[in-house]
Amino acid sequence: MKTQEYYLIINTKQTIMTTQEVANRYYELIKQNKRAEIQEELYGKDIVNREPEHAASMGIPIVTIGLDAVKAKGKARMEMIEAVHSDYCSEPVVGGNFFSVAFGRDITLKGKPRMKLEEIAVFGVKDGKIVSEQFFY
Amino acid sequence: MKTQEYYLIINTKQTIMTTQEVANRYYELIKQNKRAEIQEELYGKDIVNREPEHAASMGIPIVTIGLDAVKAKGKARMEMIEAVHSDYCSEPVVGGNFFSVAFGRDITLKGKPRMKLEEIAVFGVKDGKIVSEQFFY
């Protein structure tokens, strides 16, 4: 009886998305309101989220670090929403390792009057993942 | 001899530009490379300029406050440039009180190799003036 050794070679070549590709995929998913999928598919585990300083007075943390913390923050925010009457996201603009979009929402938060929210968001991309997000409103 | 008093009434009604109008004017001027005019015409005197934290290692101040300081910073930067081979600015995207553009420059700084710079900029507008600018690169 003869033992023969085999070598299994697996090609692990991985395609890393460019910033433009990440921005395009983000836009594709946000238009379908697939926010959870955006986080699962595109966010890096060490994502850094930044809100404007004046948001602290609304009980919103200014800096949130890590995918789990950012997910929890998003979930808490979703639970505050009574109804989204309409929303939009502009096409992303790409510059180097960053892309930017404008968001608008006609929204009613629980126990609050209906209001319109508009903001600019800037996302940082590294190795095909979103590693930072900063909101301006 | 009789002295008669006159009252001079001047109508000082002033038109304050919306964020979209400021963004459009910014875009109009930047396409003509009228950077000094942008500062003179659109910037508020208390403008706050923010650069990314890693810029400190290149000797760039992270936060610059006030129009005079921002002008001086821009002038110092201009003096570092040997040649601008090409540049572009994307159309502005507006969200609430902010607008964003992507910049690109094919540039040679004095004593440095030619390089391509790409970035995202976010401008904050209040009372028809740009009151903040933040750059992502």
DSSP A6-58: ---------PPPPHHHHHHHHHHHHHTT-HHHHHHHHEEEEEEEE--GGGGGG
**Among partner residues B94, B102, B134, which is closest to A102 by beta-carbon distance?**
B94
Q: In whole angstroms, how far apart are CA A38 and each of A25, A26, A99, B43, B76?
A: 8, 6, 15, 36, 41
Banded model confidence at residue A1, pLDDT cuts 50, 70, 90: confident
B-chain residues within 8 Å CB-CB of A122? 100, 120, 122, 136
Q: Which residues of A touch B (CB under 8 A)?
A: 90-91, 93-104, 117-122, 124, 134, 136-137
Banded model confidence at residue B15, pLDDT cuts 50, 70, 90: confident
% of chain A with per-residue pLDDT over 70: 98
What ipTM did this prediction achieve? 0.87
Q: Would you say residue A7 has pLDDT above 80?
A: no
Q: Would you say residue B4 has pLDDT above 80?
A: no
Q: Which of B90, B93, B103 to mutate against chain A (most A CBs within 10 Å)?
A: B93
Structure tokens at B17: 């530009």
Contact B130, B49 (CB under 8 A): no
Domain covering B19-136: architecture: Roll (3.10)
Structure tokens at B75: 């002038």
Q: Which of B54, B89, B98 to mutate against chain A (most A CBs within 10 Å)?
A: B98
Question: CB neighbours (10 Å) of residue A85?
Answer: 10
Question: CB neighbours (10 Å) of residue A110?
Answer: 9
Nearest to A105 by CA among A80, A119, A87: A87
Question: CB neighbours (10 Å) of residue A21?
Answer: 14
pTM: 0.88
At B45-100, the pLDDT tens digits run: 999 999 999 999 988 899 999 999 999 999 998 899 999 999 999 999 999 999 99
At A45-62, the pLDDT tens digits run: 999 999 999 999 988 899
Q: Would you say residue B3 has pLDDT above 90?
A: no
At A77-117, the pLDDT tens digits run: 889 999 999 999 999 999 999 999 999 999 999 999 999 99
Banded model confidence at residue B16, pLDDT cuts 50, 70, 90: very high
Banded model confidence at residue B32, pLDDT cuts 50, 70, 90: very high
**Among partner residues A94, A103, A136, which is closest to B122 by beta-carbon distance?**
A136
% of chain B with per-residue pLDDT over 70: 98
pLDDT computed for residue B7 by the predictor: 76
